[in-house]
Amino acid sequence: MARFERKAERSSLAATQTVEPRRPAIALPSSSSHTSTQVEPQRRIVSEDDVRHRAYELYLERGATPGNDVGDWLQAERELRPN
């Protein structure tokens, strides 16, 4: 009988607990490495689609003239991935 009571107790606890959605892990700098209280902005991961979209914008800004697709792509990468 005690085994059943413990099982029922666990299931009632599980029903009252809420589960938070998982958040992606971010590497935060250790407090000893920074003396200022200023928070550094998070870096956004730039996808290939982001670069493609920016290269297309550059193509349109040039008047949609063909022949500089690689240059547009490299320029877009330089703008979006500065380091």
Q: In this predicted structure, what is the pLDDT of residue 82?
A: 77
Six token digits for residue 32: 């000893």
Six token digits for residue 58: 């550059």
What are 28-37's pLDDT values in tens digits? 555 555 555 6
3-state secondary structure of 6: helix
Distances (CA, A) of 2 to 10, 25, 37, 65, 70: 12, 41, 55, 80, 73
What is the rounded average pLDDT of the residues 18-46? 61
Q: In this predicted structure, what is the pLDDT of residue 74?
A: 96
The total of other beta-carbon atoms located within 10 Å of residue 56's CB is: 15
What is the rounded average pLDDT of the residues 15-44? 59
Does 3 score more than 60 pLDDT?
no
Amino acid at 46: V
Q: Where are the domains of the chain?
A: 46-83
Does 61 score more than 90 pLDDT?
yes
Say what the pTM is.
0.49
